[in-house]
Chain A
Amino acid sequence: MADFKLIGQSFAPQDLVAKITGRAKYAEDFRAEGMLFTKLLSSPMPHCRVRSIDYSAALELEGVVAVLTPDEVPQEEHPFEPALTNEPVYEGEPILAVAAVDEVTAANAIELIRVDYEPLPFVLNPLDSLRPGGPDANTGGNVYNGREITTLKWDQSVFDGVGPDQMPIGPGTEEDQWEYGDLEAGFANADLVIEETLYCQSVSHHPMEPRTSMAYWQNGKLYMHGSAQSTAQARRAIADRVGVELDDVFFIAEYCGGGFGSKIRGSVLEVIPALLSRKAGRPVMMRITRAEETMMGRARPGMLGHARLGMRRDGRITALDLFLVQDNGPYSRQGDSSTSGDVSALGYTPEAMRASTVSVLTNTPPRAAQRGPGGVQIVSMLAPVVSRAARQLGVDPLQVHLVNAPNHETEFGRGPYPITSAYVTEALTQCGELFNWSERRQRSGQRNGSKVRGVGMALSPYYGGTSGWDGLVVIRPDGKLYIHQGVGNLGTHSVVDTAKAAAEALDFPWENTEVVWGHSSRHLPHSSSQSGSQTTHAHTRANWVVGEFAKTLLQELAALELGGSSSAYQVSGGRVFGPGGSLTFAQAAERAIARGGKFDGHELPEDINDMTRTSATALAGQGLVAAAKDNLPHTARTYSFVVSMIELDLDLETGMHEILNVTSVADCGTVLNPRSLIAQGNGGVIQGIGIAQSFKWAIDPTWGVHLSKRIEATKPPTMLDIPTELIFAAVDLPDPQNPVGSKGIGEPPVGAGAGALVCAIEDAMGGQHPSHQPLTPDKILSIVENDCLPCGRLETHV
């Protein structure tokens, strides 16, 4: 392994003090001269049409300045989401916005508005929409195929063949079907074939910071303070949504209070303060409340499904037949269920597999990718099926995972897709040792009064990175290295951690490095969104490449200035030195400015993105400016993996559990920053535990109205739900297609935590599988007492 000075060291990110002292400014903390506040009139029902609306009385209220209606915001064709609409497709969807001198006035004004709503048929459970004659969530249909909305109904016979608690299996949408291998032979070769109904609930993202934003205009340019997972990508999205040129948007988001996928490119709601501000001629702040965040924020799509799995006596999975119906929410098509197929194909490498999915529109809050989209759902649904099969065959679940583990040579799924690396056997073995699997496993099923011990595990693969983005660095006459980052700062530290690759490539001391991010006027490169666990991989690559490119420029510059061949010069410790002597970075920056051309950003590489070019051009002449595109080879898919193991006590008299130990091990390539890794890893595992344990929605089936808008009613996990024994480690072996060996790690811990908790609870219940997350005490008790769930097995949002 390469000998790194920065990569692999624990660092505190430089925004830490600002964050813990409360000095960090989030969108809501900004004020501008003459600023107004806006409140939203939102739909009281899940699907309706606004017949008429009279806001004259609202406008007359003292302190009200302007009203923004759907006619004034871009209305794209469904299922693209408008910021305001006359045909709401979910309860809580914004219809109109009022700007006033303060929020109370704006809210009071909304209470003066008269609206005549025409209720339209609505649907909450995707299966209801697939029935013949079932309601459609959108007047255009119930399925979005990526290009247009169409209608998909299953034949009545599909439903007649199954009982109320059995998953009906009809045709999926065409592009969502694939298979490989000989499925029937796989089942024939299996020693056990089991079938299970699958269910995973929809859950809100609920980042700590809601999607608040503040906007104003100056000289025809839009200044937007928002909350986004990427500065570069959000800025582009704002320009598109508001309908202005990219160069006319300044996006300011130095800090983002979490997104989990719900703010990948900011939020469509940012259009509201932007356009209201233009209309009112004054800055407008739109604070989103927690209850609004439940509705207008985003959520993970729930799934209903069916799995048929064949296993040999040695634990090898011979065949997997997977069918999933996804609760898509009302707008753009979610990729989760499709990812679910890939994740199960990679995690269990079945000898033969078929995946069929359909994503159905529903009149429930809009969905978006949520940390491990598709992965969390399938791991938490399928891991218990695998462990149940293992139990029936008398094989140890760890053994099952080892037997089916992918490795570097694995080509998986529908592709079949080669992967860059998979140290899964290593991760499983290390986790087993750290957790003491074989010893703890002995305690499985032990009774202590009403309590039973349960031990479970899960393996969660997830995408680990993209490539092809740009890097941009400047060495200024002050002798410092400025690393420009277009990714966002959403709390993962990757905005800082990935910058280290540039400093590492230049062998430059970190104390003299400045990371530049968070404000588009600071000239940021074209960067990935902070999603799909891509940042670590994508931007260590881009920053390494730009670091190497800066090094080349320094060597060439030194050769020109000092004589000799450029290859005879070395770069280290803030100096370039060789046969003709040496230059400090400060001197090099001055010489670069004097020489101009390719040294100071006046000539730029051809292949960089326009956004990077604009930024680098703005920086030209300020030092040695290097901009480069990541053209390193990336010939296979990059995946990371996390294994989690959980031991718990389940109280059969109350249905409550007490987690005793959670141990997880990641294969995320070389660890960039051990301290960040542990925070991210455990944070993800806890998020997963919360989804398996208590996180949910409740929507009244008769009225389609959400009953758990308050965050305490959605029940994310709390401090006390976190066990004191919480361990996260990594195999720390390099991925060959990343210059520093790293792969992404944001997402896979969530599925591992969720899957391991479900399996541990099932283990404590002697293999009885509740099949309906979250596994709250009511469900546990109903199964213990009556062997059935309190609600329907296919009932959603309950």
Chain B
Amino acid sequence: MAVIHDVMPAYELFQPTDVEGAIALLNEHGESARVLAGGMDTWDWLKDRTKRVTALVDLAGIQELREIRATADGVDIGALAPLSTVVKDPEIQQNYSVLAEAANKVATPQIRNQGTIGGNVSQDTRCWYYRAGWPCYRAGGNICYANTPASLNREHAILGADRCVAVSPSDTAPALIALDARMVVQNRSGEREIDAATFFIGPGTDIEQMTVLRTGDVLTTIRIPNAWSGASFYFEKVTDRKSWDFPLVNVASALRVEGGVIQDARIAVGGVAAKPLRLFRVEQAIIGQPANEETAAAAGELAVRGAEPLRLNGYKVPLMRNLVKRSIRGQETV
């Protein structure tokens, strides 16, 4: 049968007003339904007719999911909070600025108004072969079109590839990992909390999924503990142009430095693997070290150890190295 893209098909739209209602609808429709948040990822798939669903369960009407609340031990961000709200939130700006900065680098002002933080961490990869509907591993097939001797894979993975070489596209994900955020997920059987670094999964775990979310799950809250409140933060994203562009590589870090010595650290990198990578090894290596150029440079080298570039993405090795370095020593200026 012939194929046509770029025409939105008809679908049934459900607009529940509470989480329980949403979960009930998701269970009722099973695989043929999808959660709709801002639609910035979802509608792309539908309009391209590459993924078919017959029903969308729109969470926008669930007021409690849109709120950002300061709690006794941190801040709870409703999954439906638009990215632009996250950027402007005074509590986040004040104590967890790395997240505000990361959210502010997503796409464009319009997309940040429409896209939600829950959607931003749950979004699918942007591998252009996969998104064009090619029958690759991630789409249930048995080939990776992005990893052949002639493939166009400038944007793809240098680490953690397993058949699939797609990368994590999210800008907020590394920041959330650096903040030790926890994802609160609700489904028919109740509520569970998942550490941000384990919320995201690579192809070795499940080649068709980017996160642990499964049919019937609703991400309700992103919980930021106050552990890193007011730490010294860094976020940087490298792109081909200054706006409206996914990260080639991004980095987020949170450091506690006392007397010039690194006491504790979190560093996460996006755009290099299918999931945003928390750099445990690097964190371990820099704790107890002076926060200086030498430590930063060594950390950068360590971060890229084991990288396996593809045909066109070798540049990501020095780029990730440099970004990790900068996440420890800042952008060097004289």
Contact = CB atoms under 8 A, between A and B. Distances in A.
Interface of A: 39-42, 44, 103-104, 106-108, 110-115, 289-292, 447-451, 653-656, 690, 693-694, 698-703, 705, 707-709, 712-713, 715, 717-721, 774, 776-779, 781-782, 784-786, 790-791, 798
A693 B152 contact: no
Interface string B291-334: 00000000000000000000011111011001101100001111
A453 to B, nearest CB: 13
B313 A107 contact: no
A698 B127 CA distance: 13
Contact of B241 (A449, A694, A708): A694
B240 A774 contact: yes
B239 interface: yes
Contacts of A781: 315, 318-319
Contact of A698 (B4, B128, B243): B128
A715 B240 contact: yes
Nearest to A659: B242
B69 interface: no
B1 A113 contact: yes
Contacts of A785: 315, 318
Contacts of A798: 152, 154, 312
A570 B248 CA distance: 69
Interface stretch (B5-13, B14-22, B26-34, B114-122): B5-13
B8 A712 contact: no
B332 to A, nearest CB: 4
Contacts of A718: 108, 241-245
In this complex, the member of B2, B245, B326 whose beta carbon has the largest number of chain A beta carbons within 10 angstroms is B2
Contacts of A290: 6
Contact of B312 (A41, A115, A777, A778): A778
B241 A707 contact: no
Contacts of A44: 3
A700 B313 contact: no
Nearest to B246: A712
7 contacts: A41-B2, A104-B9, A694-B240, A705-B132, A715-B240, A777-B240, A785-B315
Given A107-B7, A718-B244, A449 B331 contact: yes
Interface string B243-277: 11100100000000000000000000000000000
| Shortest beta-carbon contacts, A-B, top 6 | A720-B242, A449-B332, A107-B7, A653-B322, A778-B315, A707-B128
B240 A708 contact: no
Contacts of B72: none
A2 to B, nearest CB: 45
A776 B8 CA distance: 33
Contacts of B5: 291, 709
Contacts of B129: 700, 707
A450 B326 CA distance: 10
Interface residues of B, number: 46
Nearest to A710: B44
A764 to B, nearest CB: 16
B148 interface: yes
Nearest to A718: B243
Contacts of A447: 334
Contacts of B228: none
B1 A777 contact: no
Contact of A777 (B319, B326, B333): B319
A798 B150 CA distance: 10
B113 interface: no
Nearest to B44: A710
B112 to A, nearest CB: 13
A44 B134 CA distance: 12
Nearest to B318: A785
A199 to B, nearest CB: 16
B10 A111 contact: no
B145 interface: yes
A286 to B, nearest CB: 13
Contacts of A786: 314
Given A790-B313, A790-B314, A720 B333 contact: no
Contacts of B94: none
A708 to B, nearest CB: 7
